[in-house]
Amino acid sequence: MTSRQRVSIACQACRKRRVKCDGAKPSCSRCTRLKESCEYQHSDEKRKPPSKRYIQSLLSRIESLERQVAQYEGRGPLSPATIPPPPPPPHHQQGHHSTHVSTPQDSVQELVDLCGGLSLGEGEELRFFDSRSNLAMVSEQLDERCHDHLLKFSADRSQRPGVEEMIDVGPAIRGPLLDLFWRWQNPWQYLLHESAWRRSYELRDNDYCTPTLLYAMLAVAARYADEPALSHDFGTYTAGIGFAAKAKQLVVEEMEAPRVSTVVAAALISVAELALDIEPAGWTYIGMAVRMAYTLGLHTDPRPWVESGRLPAEDAEIRSVAWWGCYMIEKLYSLALGRPSACIERDIHTPLPAIVPDVEFKGLEESLKSPPDQHLPLGYSITNFRYTCEMLRLVTGPLDEIYSLSPKITREDRTDIVLKASVALSAFYDRIPSVIRLPSSALGTPLAVHIYYFHIHYHGLNILLHRPFISRQTRSPQAENQRGVDCTHLEECTRSAEALTATLKEVEKHYSLRTATISVIHPCLTAGLIHLCNWTLPSPGVKTRVKKHFLYIMHSLSQMSTAWVWALRAMRLLKLVARRWLPPEEFTGLMANELAYLSGGMGAESVVPVVQGLPDAVGYDPWAEPLWSEGDLVQSGPLFDLGLWEGDGLLSGESGRS
């Protein structure tokens, strides 16, 4: 007798018919038999109960609100002068206006329109202008007789130099590099519509696949390759530098009349620059990509144009993929460098990329170290990408407020922001679909590597939310009532740091850290600092445990440094901070252990024990044994003890920050 197969979610067709669905991907057996379209809506999953973390974040939020109510009750009722006025009624925005004016009433309606729109600009490419510019009132910006002679290339794409004329890379190198790009880069940072790009590449139509974009793709793909012929004369650390140089030259030329491929190329160049630890150039190129994306109106909703027949549906999807890919890279850049983001949430209206079955359900047999005999995992790359973008949209705004240097944001404001954001992030994490959740057992089927990246970034973001509210002080009578809240911040940071380290171990177990994405480096650095901070606490039995976690973080960064020189900067920072935070004898022992491990003298299991059930999986409780004794920590200030960071110039000029 076979056990009943449980399906977490049925396809839309079976749900409509109210019949059983076997949940097969990409198409269930019933839809396959009836030759119907089979789609799954993962947002319909509602079976998972709230997690302990979500409940704890709610309790912390309630406690904070109770304190605020008590404070207001002590002050008496609010005076009318302190009550903020109601917000003004929202403007009723009109749809895309017509450029034809027939009556005075039409002219007024067009004049007060708030939406703006797209029109043809340089190079006969679409450009976006909102109504403030007044330029959206015409469908074409320039007379071609006035500007064509100023461009470095023809406005007619078919007349521009194509791949065959400009790419001097043979198929023997080009083919394997493109395979690496589609295997390791695009499934995580979803920038390119694969089927449209492949069709353009085969047709050599110079439409979506351009020499600029192809060189940028090869520059990033070369970072994942072990082929010596792809390295520069200076060594393997500079793999792909020749491709990047050519792509940068072409991007500068296309900047005069950018198109979607120019935007994607600039975003990829930013990744290639950071790979070489040239972060000023990388930051500049991702800024260029975002600026050009705004120029093309990639942030706007293209559906009215599709419905009117003025924009093909596939072109609209290409635009959406390009925008959200740039959004993801730019937000991760902002987090890694601690700089303001150029992507403003209020301006973003384009929908997230649609699920493409050929991409969503792609197998991973070529990526795994040792593929299992049965049940090969599916990629679910677009679902994973969509939820990663949603997570970034949810958290990066509050992080900007928490880490702002503005004197107008008080300590109480920051506390309120972090509690709200923590509740929202916990609720979001509880709602993610089962196909991108971590397995309940470490012995289960491996997941796609980009799904592990999603969880690594979740824990990195969670640490950044709570870290400014922990400090290393002994308990004081004044802080007795807030001890639980303060310990919650440290618990969250430590829990996420340990979960991140264990998830990183799964990546190395099933794949390789040599091919891990560059964006993992910053969460690793963030977790390593938490392990190092816990090492300095006076709790017994903690040092051995956190020392193993810290050493594994250093090992992981070392493995990633072959592809990403950026990882060497993270390793250097951790060593400098460890030398400042730890006693000399402990630091000397740490470096000796690190050298032994990196040279192969220690096994991975001796650094991070095999976890029987990954963190955040069902039934796993990483806090059965607390890491510290009660009363070790209380909150003494709004920011993470900055005194521990000063001295080596790592936070120069911020000693007065409060």
Pair 439, 574 in one domain: yes
What CA–CA distance (Å, rounded) separates 328 from 268? 12
Final residue of a domain: which of 354, 370, 393? 354
**271: closest CA among 248, 250, 294, 249?**
248
Residue 640 lies in a domain: yes
pLDDT digits (tens, 9 = 90+) for 25-55: 888 888 888 888 888 876 655 556 667 666 7
What CA–CA distance (Å, rounded) separates 421 from 398? 7
Final residue of a domain: which of 306, 335, 354? 354
pLDDT digits (tens, 9 = 90+) for 147-169: 444 455 555 555 555 555 566 77
Q: Which residues contact 382 (CB under 8 A, 6 or more apart)?
A: 190, 353, 354, 355, 356, 359, 360
Residue 206 lies in a domain: yes
Residue 254 lies in a domain: yes
pLDDT digits (tens, 9 = 90+) for 211-227: 999 999 999 999 998 87
CA angle 280, 282, 284 (to 5 degrees): 70
Determine the 3-state secondary structure of 320 from DSSP: helix
Pair 395, 342 in one domain: no
Residue 528 lies in a domain: yes
What CA–CA distance (Å, rounded) separates 505 from 513? 9
**Which amino acid is present at 134?**
N
Pair 342, 390 in one domain: no
Residue 629 lies in a domain: yes
What local confidence, expressed as pLDDT, does residue 613 receive?
Answer: 40
Average pLDDT over residues 593-621: 47
Pair 325, 404 in one domain: no
Pair 385, 277 in one domain: no
Residue 228 lies in a domain: yes
What CA–CA distance (Å, rounded) separates 83 from 558? 56
Token pair in block for residue 261: 């491929």
pLDDT digits (tens, 9 = 90+) for 401-427: 998 888 888 888 888 999 899 999 999
Residue 129 β-bridge partners: 117
Final residue of a domain: which of 319, 354, 389? 354
What CA–CA distance (Å, rounded) separates 548 from 62? 36
Pair 450, 310 in one domain: no
Average pLDDT over residues 508-520: 93
**519: closest CA among 335, 286, 292?**
335
Pair 410, 545 in one domain: yes
pLDDT digits (tens, 9 = 90+) for 368-393: 766 655 567 788 999 999 999 999 99
Confidence of residue 476 (pLDDT cuts 50, 70, 90): very low
What CA–CA distance (Å, rounded) separates 363 from 377? 6
**Which amino acid is present at 452?**
Y
- pTM reported for the whole predicted model: 0.76
Residue 316 lies in a domain: yes
Token pair in block for residue 476: 């004081």
Pair 452, 587 in one domain: yes
What residue has token string 């359900």? 361
Q: Is 298 in contact with 350 (CB distance < 8 Å)?
A: yes
Query: Domains in the chain: how many in total?
Result: 2
Pair 281, 398 in one domain: no
Structural domain boundaries, residue 205 = 157-354
Residue 217 lies in a domain: yes
Pair 538, 449 in one domain: yes
Beta-strand runs (E) in 285-388: none
Pair 583, 639 in one domain: yes
Pair 412, 301 in one domain: no
How crowded is residue 572: how many other Cβ atoms within 10 Å of its Cβ?
Answer: 11
What local confidence, expressed as pLDDT, does residue 138 receive?
Answer: 61
Contacts 24+ apart (CB under 8 A), 175-179: 176/225, 176/227, 177/217, 177/218, 177/221, 177/222, 177/225, 177/230, 178/217, 178/218, 178/221
